[in-house]
Amino acid sequence: MRVVIADDSVLLREGLVRLVEENGCTVVEAVGDGPSLVTAVERHRPDVSIVDVRMPPTHTDEGLRAAVEARTLVPGSPILVLSQYVEVEYADDLLADRRGAVGYLLKDRVAEVAEFMTGLRQVAGGATVLDPEVVAQLLVRRRRDDPLRALTPREREVLGLMAEGRSNNAIARKIVVTDGAVEKHVRNIFTKLNLHQDEEQHRRVLAVLAYLQG
């Protein structure tokens, strides 16, 4: 398995090189910044790249942005991101293209060598590997950001029927209520989803989009 490693810390970078090579892989290049990672991925087309999220010059998200750029230039290039802490926004960016072959692990997992190498091989094989703590925080964020959480069960049911393309009259017949009751539910849905009257946008369509995204 051919590997590119990107980490600005010489100590960590060399430690990763030794670890993966002792476990049967070949490190084709080890670099210390984002642009060098992009160049290395384009040059070597590695089976997988191990990338630190934070690299020079600002030590914020350079590594992640370089990884996303590399996957744009070499579509689907497998990337395993390592981070000191769980940063949900970065995980979202990494997963956004939905192509798989990505991983997001906390650096502490590297100490569990067998588990780390298993995750690395899974990413190289096209799987998505997420640290359990990353998964937990992603779920918390999804629940917090879910625009549908304010809806009652009945309003969710009505919105689901709207998503099926049913008219208010058809919804009323389906759930055995009056047309007026459905109209009230629809108004409540618009209000709770913060969809105000707008001549340029159809609130019903926007509500359905919110339902599908939720």
C-alpha dist (Å) from residue 205 to 149, 151, 161, 164, 194: 19, 17, 12, 11, 13
Which pLDDT does position 83 carry in this prediction? 85
- Other CB atoms within a 10 A radius of the CB of residue 32 amount to 16
Q: Residue 86 is which amino acid?
A: V
**DSSP state, residue 195:** -
Surface-to-core class of residue 74, CB atoms within 10 Å of its CB (0-12 exposed, 13-18 middle, 19+ buried)? middle
Residues sharing a CB contact under 8 Å with residue 68, sequence separation 6 or more, in sequence order: 93, 94, 96
Surface-to-core class of residue 169, CB atoms within 10 Å of its CB (0-12 exposed, 13-18 middle, 19+ buried)? exposed
* Of 11, 75, 8, the residue nearest 35 (C-alpha): 8
pLDDT tens for residues 131-147?
A: 877 766 665 665 566 67
Which pLDDT does position 169 carry in this prediction? 92
pLDDT confidence bin for 199, thresholds 50/70/90: very low
CA distance 12 to 129: 21
pLDDT tens for residues 32-88?
A: 999 999 999 999 999 999 999 888 888 888 888 899 899 989 998 999 999 887 776
C-alpha dist (Å) from residue 134 to 14, 67, 82, 85: 26, 18, 11, 9
Predicted structure pTM score:
0.66
Which pLDDT does position 212 carry in this prediction? 67
Which pLDDT does position 173 carry in this prediction? 92
Which pLDDT does position 141 carry in this prediction? 62
pLDDT, mean of residues 119-128: 91
Q: What is the mean pLDDT of the chain?
A: 85
**pLDDT for residue 150 is more than 50:** yes
* Of 74, 121, 126, 73, the residue nearest 98 (C-alpha): 126
Exposure string of 177-195, with b = 16+ CB inside 10 Å and e = fewer, is eeeebbeebbebbbebbeb
Evaluate whether 34 touches 70 at the Cβ level (below 8 Å).
no
CA distance 190 to 48: 46
- Other CB atoms within a 10 A radius of the CB of residue 109 amount to 17
